[in-house]
């Protein structure tokens, strides 16, 4: 993974809000239903909520959600996106300093985000803002490269210099929660999911990554490679990107921080 000093979790998503909101996948129903069954109806703090993808999915299930996001562009996009009439509170804050009161939430979620955090500091903050018996959930969509198209997509992604550094070690991030003395009853559960896309969707999904190329010539090369992968694997103008969605859950332990 990138060293902490190189991550720039707040700034690296600036300028990506629209493409992120348009092309990133949601999360499988089974994983979300499991999360709600364990964590209840909230309040739930969606920390590093980005453009509000997980926030809206949970709000639609009746969960009271507070979205916490440090990046102004991403948070503004979340606030501007309709949530089917279900109110979601968005506020500026970081994983290590959410600004939420002590014991104010029943659950904390980090969806596709925890690997950007300072894990020990974030887990201390989660412990602080959780009510007794509250839960932390970490959620990631990871490419399932047993699928041929998904493997070819991944090969192109890895031509970007930071890809391996960012993507490697997410599993160890999840186990940081399971092994933390601040939490107990930890478990990891895995769910299958997939995202069907046309060629524009495949390219947009690739470019939504914070580590995708930014320099125009490199972007054009990246686009051509993704187009070639899509052409080789598409059926009827569509291709399916396959994921394994990991859900890590652990309950707040009654300890002094």
Note the pLDDT tens digit of each residue in 100-143.
999 999 999 999 999 999 999 999 999 999 999 999 999 999 99
The token pair that represents 178 in the structure block? 């399971």
Q: What pLDDT is stored for residue 9 in this prediction?
A: 57
Closest CA to 63 of 46, 40, 79: 40
Q: What pLDDT is stored for residue 257 in this prediction?
A: 54
Q: What pLDDT is stored for residue 117 in this prediction?
A: 94
- Position with higher pLDDT, 209 vs 172: 209
Within a 10 A sphere around the Cβ of 80, how many other Cβ atoms?
11
Q: Which percentage of the chain shows pLDDT scores above 70?
A: 92
Residue 83, pLDDT above cutoff 90: no
Q: What pLDDT is stored for residue 16 in this prediction?
A: 74
pTM equals: 0.91
Residue 1, pLDDT above cutoff 90: no
- Position with higher pLDDT, 251 vs 257: 251
Contacts of 60 (CB under 8 A, 6+ apart): 83, 84, 86
Q: Which residues are bridge partners to 136 per DSSP?
A: 108, 250
Contact (CB, 8 A) for 105 and 43 = yes
Tell the residue number behind the tokens 């997410």, with chain if given: 170
Q: What pLDDT is stored for residue 245 in this prediction?
A: 96
Residue 98, pLDDT above cutoff 80: yes
**Rounded distance between C-alpha atoms, residue 199 and residue 84, angstroms:** 28
Residue 221, pLDDT above cutoff 90: yes
Q: Which percentage of the chain shows pLDDT scores above 90?
A: 81
> Which of 15-19, 122-126, 226-230, 243-247 comes out lowest in average pLDDT?
15-19
> Chain-wide mean pLDDT for the chain?
92
Q: What pLDDT is stored for residue 2 in this prediction?
A: 42
Which H or E run includes 186?
A: strand 183-197
Tell the residue number behind the tokens 């089974």, with chain if given: 30
Q: What pLDDT is stored for residue 172 in this prediction?
A: 73
Domains of the chain: 4-141+165-192+245-252 (3.40.50.150)
36-42-44 Cα angle (round to 5): 90
Backbone angles phi, psi at 154, to 5 degrees: -65, -35
Residue 82, pLDDT above cutoff 90: no
Confidence of residue 4 (pLDDT cuts 50, 70, 90): very low
């Amino acid at each position: 993974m990138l060293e902490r000093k190189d991550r720039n979790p707040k700034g690296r998503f600036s300028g990506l809000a629209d493409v992120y909101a348009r092309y990133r996948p949601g999360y499988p129903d089974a994983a979300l239903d499991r999360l709600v069954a364990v964590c209840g109806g909230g309040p739930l703090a969606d920390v590093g909520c980005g453009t509000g993808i997980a926030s809206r999915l949970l709000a639609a299930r009746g969960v009271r959600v507070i979205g916490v996001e440090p990046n102004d562009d991403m948070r503004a996009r979340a606030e501007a996106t309709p949530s089917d009439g279900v109110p979601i509170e968005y506020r500026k804050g970081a994983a290590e300093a959410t600004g939420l009161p002590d014991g104010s939430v029943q659950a904390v979620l980090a969806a596709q985000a925890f690997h950007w955090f300072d894990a020990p500091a974030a887990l201390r903050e989660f412990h602080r803002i959780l009510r007794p018996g509250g839960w932390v959930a970490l959620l990631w969509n990871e490419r399932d490269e047993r699928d041929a198209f998904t493997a070819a997509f991944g090969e192109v992604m890895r031509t970007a210099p930071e890809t391996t550094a960012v993507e490697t070690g997410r599993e160890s991030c999840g186990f940081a929660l399971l092994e933390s003395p601040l939490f107990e009853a930890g478990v990891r559960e895995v769910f299958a999911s997939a995202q069907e896309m046309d060629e524009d969707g495949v390219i947009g999904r690739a470019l939504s990554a914070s580590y995708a190329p930014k320099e125009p010539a490199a972007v054009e090369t990246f686009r051509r490679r993704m187009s070639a992968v899509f052409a080789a694997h598409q059926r009827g103008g569509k291709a399916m990107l396959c994921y394994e969605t990991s859900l890590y859950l652990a309950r707040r332990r009654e300890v002094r921080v």
